[in-house]
Structure 1
Amino acid sequence: MAEVSLKGVTRSFGPDVALEDVTMTIPDGSFVVLLGPTGAGKTTTLRMVSGLDRPDRGQVFIGGRDMSGLTPAQRDVAMVFQQYSLYPHLTVRQNLEFPLKSPILRTPRAEIDRKVAQIAEVLQIAHKLDNKATALSGGEMQRVSIGRALVRNPAVYLMDEPLSSLDAKLRSDLRIELKSIQADSGATLLYVTHDQIEAMTMATHVGVLDRGRLVQFGSPREIYENPVSLYAASRLGQPRINLLPADIFGGAPPRAARIGLRPEQIMQGEGEDSFVQRVEHLGDQTRLHLMFRSHQIVTVTDAHTTLKSGDIVRIRPNKPFYFDADGARVA
């Protein structure tokens, strides 16, 4: 496995800047998730590392080696695309075997059979091994696509929203399995998603991208608890961070325009009155939808709360975040 480094990587498509001076180090053996909305530069970053696209400026290093001029095959990476790409005339087994039959790898037949059986079991497609790819559902095709990457042992795995076409239960199962496979193998994995739950549960590091710029890089907990900007703060957390006028509770620091409150930063039972609009019982927790001085706030409370719509709850902030008019964090 290998460390991946991007140094000053910039890429434009005509007048549109996809990546701008991105510098980032993906540690050897880490599971790095790139977060950001459509157009933030997540997929372009994967394509820079894979060699499918070349930077206009900057360099990509894998294992300390400059990748300039090297083809995707020479980079020893395995990529899973958002849209599955399979050989339709081959069976599932043959699709999974295909990378292992490369003359470069020269994998023994017994090892091919073992790896294919292992990955098919993990991805819950063992019963489909002799089916043609065209006979599969969309979710099954995507699992086969993931499997084609996992049967190999490349320097780096690159995955572009690989679970997006799967149902909720299978996504949950495969999140656990992918993380387990990555941890057991010590693989370096760069993973793109819109799903913050995937980021929080799977990642060792998260890179937050905004319009081609890397705005923060760190552990999920670091970004959740110490965001550098309003934008970074909004990428993680469910329910989403509450944003209110900075002076709504008083005591805001100079230059602060907005106060950010995560659910656990709202203390209940003391402070000022808020009105309970709606109560959502979710089993392990209960969400409260509050109205406070004409502003809506969502927080969480005890799963067995007796609060109901129309009740009054007293609230106050506890160690909130403050942001200036441009969204930068105010100390």
Structure 2
Amino acid sequence: MAEVILKNVSKSFGKTVAVSDIDMTIPDGAFVVLLGPTGAGKTTTLRLISGLETLDGGEISIGGRVVNGETPAQRDVAMVFQQYSLYPHLTVRENLEFPLKSPILKTLPEEIKRKVDEVASVLQITHKLDNKATALSGGEMQRVSIGRALVREPQVYLMDEPLSSLDAKLRTDLRIELKRIQASLGATILYVTHDQIEAMTMATHVGVLNEGKLVQFGTPREIYENPNSLYVASRLGQPRINILPADLFGTAPKGAHRIGLRPEHVMQGEGRAAQVGRVERLGDHTRLHLRLDGHDITTLADPHTGYTPGSEVKIAPHNPLCFDAAGNRIY
């Protein structure tokens, strides 16, 4: 595996700036998630690292080697796409073998068999090796697609929303599987998603992108607890952070225009009286959807709470995040 370093990386398509002056270090063995909405520059960054797009400016190095002028094959990276990209007429084994039969890799037949059997075992698809790709379920197809990258043992794995087309249960299962595989292999993975749950549960580091710029980079806990802007604060957290006028509770510092309250930071039992609009009982906890002076507020409550729609509950902020009129954090 290898460290990946981006220095002042930029890319435009005509007049559209896709990536602008990104500086980022992906540590060796890290699971880095690029997070942001559609158009933030996530996939373009991935494609620039892979060599599928050419840089307009800046420098990319992989394992201490500048790769700006190298082809995708020379960069020794493996990419997993959102769609399965399997050969339907081949068996699972033949699909897994295909990258290893490249004349560039020159892999011996016995080594091909060893690697395919090993990856199939890791992905729990050994019993499917002789099946045609078309006979697999969606989750199995994506496992094979991931397996085609794993057999390569490249310096870096690049994954572009590989779980987004799967149903909720399969996404959960494969999130756990991917993290387990990454930990066991010590793999360096750069993973693109707009799903904050994937970022929170899998990443060792999260890079938040906005309009082609890297606006914050850190551990998921750092990004969640100490965002540097309103935009970043809104990227992580489920339910979403409550964004409210700074003077709603009368406790904001000078210069604050809005405050951000995570649901767990809305204290109950004292403060201002809010109306309960909806109660979501989710087993291990309950969500309360409140209304205060025309503003919606979501908070968490005991799973056995007796609140019902129309109830009144007093609330107060605890450790609110404060932002100025431009959305920048006030510390």
Q: TM-score, normalised by structure 2?
A: 0.96
Give the Cα–Cα distance (whole angstroms) in 2 for the partners of residues 309 and 272 of structure 1: 17
Give the Cα–Cα distance (whole angstroms) in 1 for the partners of residues 231 and 243 of structure 2: 11
Q: Which moved more, 1:29-38 or 1:128-137?
A: 128-137
Equivalent position of 2:32 in the other structure:
32
Unpaired stretches in structure 1, ≥5 consecutive residues: none
1:124, CA displacement in angstroms?
4.4
Q: Which moved more, 1:79-88 or 1:190-199?
A: 79-88
Runs (4+) of structure 1 exceeding 4 A deviation are none
Equivalent residue letter for 2:200: M
Equivalent position of 2:320 in the other structure:
320
Count residues in correspondence. 331
Give the Cα–Cα distance (whole angstroms) in 1 for the partners of residues 104 and 70 of structure 2: 16
Equivalent residue letter for 1:257: H
Equivalent residue letter for 2:84: Y
Q: Which moved more, 1:41-50 or 1:172-181?
A: 172-181
1:137, CA displacement in angstroms?
4.2
1:275 aligns with 2:283: no
Give the Cα–Cα distance (whole angstroms) in 2 for the partners of residues 223 and 116 of structure 1: 38
Q: Deviation per CA, 1:31-50, whole angstroms, max 9, x where unpaired? A: 00000000000000000100
Give the Cα–Cα distance (whole angstroms) in 2 for the partners of residues 162 and 118 of structure 1: 21
Give the Cα–Cα distance (whole angstroms) in 1 for the partners of residues 167 and 120 of structure 2: 18
Equivalent position of 1:55 in the other structure:
55
Q: Deviation per CA, 1:129-156, whole angstroms, max 9, x where unpaired? A: 2232334444433222111001221100
Q: Which moved more, 1:41-50 or 1:87-96?
A: 87-96
SS in structure 1 of the partner of residue 47 of structure 2: helix
SS in structure 2 of the partner of residue 240 of structure 1: coil
Equivalent residue letter for 2:204: T
Equivalent position of 2:244 in the other structure:
244
Q: Deviation per CA, 1:163-214, whole angstroms, max 9, x where unpaired? A: 1122222211111111111111111100011111111110000000001000
SS in structure 1 of the partner of residue 234 of structure 2: helix
Counterpart contact for 1:18–1:40, Cα < 8 Å:
yes
Give the Cα–Cα distance (whole angstroms) in 2 for the partners of residues 116 and 305 of structure 1: 52
Counterpart contact for 1:39–1:211, Cα < 8 Å:
yes
Give the Cα–Cα distance (whole angstroms) in 2 for the partners of residues 282 and 123 of structure 1: 31
Supply the RMSD in Å over aligned alpha carbons.
1.5
Give the Cα–Cα distance (whole angstroms) in 2 for the partners of residues 143 and 174 of structure 1: 8
Q: Deviation per CA, 1:72-119, whole angstroms, max 9, x where unpaired? A: 000010000112222233211101111122334343434433432343
Distance 1:172 1:122, change over 3 A: farther
Give the Cα–Cα distance (whole angstroms) in 2 for the partners of residues 13 and 215 of structure 1: 21
Unpaired stretches in structure 2, ≥5 consecutive residues: none
Equivalent position of 1:216 in the other structure:
216
Equivalent position of 2:19 in the other structure:
19
Equivalent position of 2:87 in the other structure:
87
Equivalent position of 2:178 in the other structure:
178
Counterpart contact for 2:259–2:320, Cα < 8 Å:
yes
Give the Cα–Cα distance (whole angstroms) in 2 for the partners of residues 57 and 177 of structure 1: 36
Equivalent residue letter for 2:92: V
Equivalent residue letter for 2:195: D
Equivalent position of 2:266 in the other structure:
266
Give the Cα–Cα distance (whole angstroms) in 1 for the partners of residues 122 and 185 of structure 2: 14
Matches within 5 A, 1:159-238: 159-238=159-238
Equivalent position of 1:301 in the other structure:
301
SS in structure 2 of the partner of residue 235 of structure 1: coil
Give the Cα–Cα distance (whole angstroms) in 2 for the partners of residues 300 and 118 of structure 1: 44
Give the Cα–Cα distance (whole angstroms) in 1 for the partners of residues 226 and 200 of structure 2: 14
Percent identity, aligned pairs only, is 73
Give the Cα–Cα distance (whole angstroms) in 2 for the partners of residues 217 and 325 of structure 1: 23
Give the Cα–Cα distance (whole angstroms) in 1 for the partners of residues 62 and 120 of structure 2: 29
1:121, CA displacement in angstroms?
4.0
Give the Cα–Cα distance (whole angstroms) in 2 for the partners of residues 294 and 159 of structure 1: 42
Equivalent residue letter for 2:197: I
Give the Cα–Cα distance (whole angstroms) in 2 for the partners of residues 309 and 295 of structure 1: 16
Give the Cα–Cα distance (whole angstroms) in 2 for the partners of residues 327 and 144 of structure 1: 43
Equivalent position of 2:64 in the other structure:
64
